[in-house]
Chain A
Amino acid sequence: MSNLKKKLVNGEFVVTAELTPPKGPEINQMIDKLKELKPLVDAVNFTDNPSGKMRMCSLAACKISLDLGFEPVLQMTCRDRNRIGIQSDLLGAHALGIRNLLLMTGDHPILGDQKEAKPVYDIDSSILIRLINNLNNGLDINGNRLNGKTEFFYGGVVNPNAEPLIPQLKRFEQKLKMGAEFFQTQMIFEIEKLEKFMDYAQRFNTKVIAGVVIIRSKKMLHYLNSKVPGVSVPKWLIDKIEGFNDEDVEKFGIDFTAKLILNIMEKKICHGIHLMAFSKVEEVKNLLNYIKI
């Protein structure tokens, strides 16, 4: 059983962080970050060409992480591979020792740096989740018998900020039915939205990890708001930050996220947090020191 699964099942609060594999063959920087992150978080998610921007594959990054003795979460999207490629990559990942999966449909290539690419989307995330369920039962997507069973711990994503929300809730339920064992949310800025979602989610007895982001600059906030699918930064937050100078934004960013996390922990809203879209391990350190997990 993966450590992440063990902790979640035991009701311990988990902390995960996100790393984007490098744009290029050079991996030393990623390794440095990983070493620094190791004592801080329970697992690290490796993104799968986020926003359709071409990067090293998350599978290789996960293997590098495993070699350093650090548990990875493999993020897998449906954007770039058909069902054959997906199953084949997943069996490979399993053979290399990767056990945690986070499954999603994936941002459209038109948003990335290879806009001319043919999007695949042979299946969507609900079907992908059922596919893993099959693999864990020793079957491929068509029900053909495999020579063994995989032992994946697998989750889906959900966006509590979505408007309208009901289609997201329905999707969440559907992914649960397909077998998703945990969920990770899109980045949260307003605790009320997370609470509203969790009110609904709680009746299903599943584990939810809340996505949070450390605001670093005005530019970053604007980028998230306008360029990242599914992310809407509330207007009051943008307005508030507008008045700060750069240094104050950084301080405010750590403070804001720390309060959000403390709130989540105190009220026991979710079962963990996931730190998204950061570039400095220093920030994660500051943040986690601040809340002293």
Chain B
Amino acid sequence: MIVSNRKDLKEIEKYIENLDKFFLIGCSECATLCGTGNEEAILNLKQWLEDNHKKVTGWMIAKTGCQILGTKRELSQYKEAIEQAQCIMVLSCGAGTQTITELFEEKPVIPLNDTLFIGNMRRFREFEERCRACGECFLAITGVCVVTLCPKSMLNGPCGGYKEGRCEVNPLRKCAWIIAYETLEKRGLMEKFYENILGPKDWSKANSPRQLKASTGYSKSKTEDPKEK
């Protein structure tokens, strides 16, 4: 999921100084799990705006904010409330916010959240970054994502900086490579891992912005190299 966090109110204040009427949009996917785009978050924001003598013309929660066509369809029934508003506030990740930007070119669209990372939820609303969307997944080899969990994205084993198995960057965390080692050992793949060297990583696969036309079949496309086409 995409983990997001509510912006500081001071920052939000800066964006809305000269605006009075707002329409609010949440998202029922990741932002709801994060508590940044669910009904409670929307109602709290509404209350805060009204306490600051602003008007909320309406609000809704998109099913999947990053889905452009679906969201457009859902919004059609709020046409009037949106027309009355001077500004739309979006309580989702950056992708959801840009759906709205694309749909309402003439109105200011303000993100209420900062988008942080792709992560997992361990306990209720406790999130851990797990993937950097590097474009070429190595999890089959290393078990845990060393590209993300090692602050140096080391592909071939640990640096010399860990102490008692703890990472030099954050001693509260176990060194990602110690975890990867344990995984390799348990899987009986340690020796095999060291026969080769992983990398240099092809970071061009992570160059932004990326686009994809997905296919669902495995029959042909699986082994085809898109570069050869």
Contacts and interface: CB of A to CB of B under 8 A. Distances in A.
B218 interface: no
B169 A105 contact: no
Interface residues of B, number: 27
A79 B165 CA distance: 21
Q: Which of A78, A105, A111, A232 has the most CB of B within 10 A?
A: A105
A232 B194 contact: no
A11 interface: no
Contact of A162 (B154, B156, B160, B190): B160
A127 interface: yes
Contact of B160 (A79, A104, A126, A130): A104
A105 B199 CA distance: 14
Contacts of B129: none
A266 interface: no
Contacts of B151: 108, 110, 119
B158 interface: yes
A168 B158 contact: yes
Interface residues of A, number: 39
B157 A110 contact: no
Interface string B144-167: 000000011111111111111100
B178 interface: yes
A163 B175 CA distance: 11
Q: Which of B153, B154, B160, B194 has the most CB of A within 10 A?
A: B160
A171 B165 contact: no
Interface in A120-168: 121-127, 130, 141, 157-159, 162-164, 166-168
A265 B138 CA distance: 44
A203 interface: no
A83 interface: yes
Given A111-B168, A121-B153, A167 B158 contact: yes
A121 B132 CA distance: 14
A92 interface: no
A223 B49 CA distance: 50
B23 interface: no
A126 B152 contact: no
A127 B168 contact: no
B160 A108 contact: no
Contact of A229 (B153, B168, B190): B168
A48 B119 CA distance: 34
A107 interface: yes
Contact of A111 (B155, B160, B169, B197): B169
B178 A121 contact: no
Interface of A: 78-79, 83, 104-108, 110-111, 119, 121-127, 130, 141, 157-159, 162-164, 166-168, 170-171, 173-174, 177-178, 186, 229-230, 232
10 contacts: A107-B168, A111-B169, A121-B152, A162-B158, A163-B164, A171-B158, A174-B197, A229-B168, A230-B159, A232-B164
Complex A-B, nearest 10 residue pairs according to Cβ-Cβ distance, in ascending order: A229-B161, A159-B160, A229-B168, A230-B160, A171-B157, A124-B154, A126-B156, A121-B152, A230-B161, A105-B159
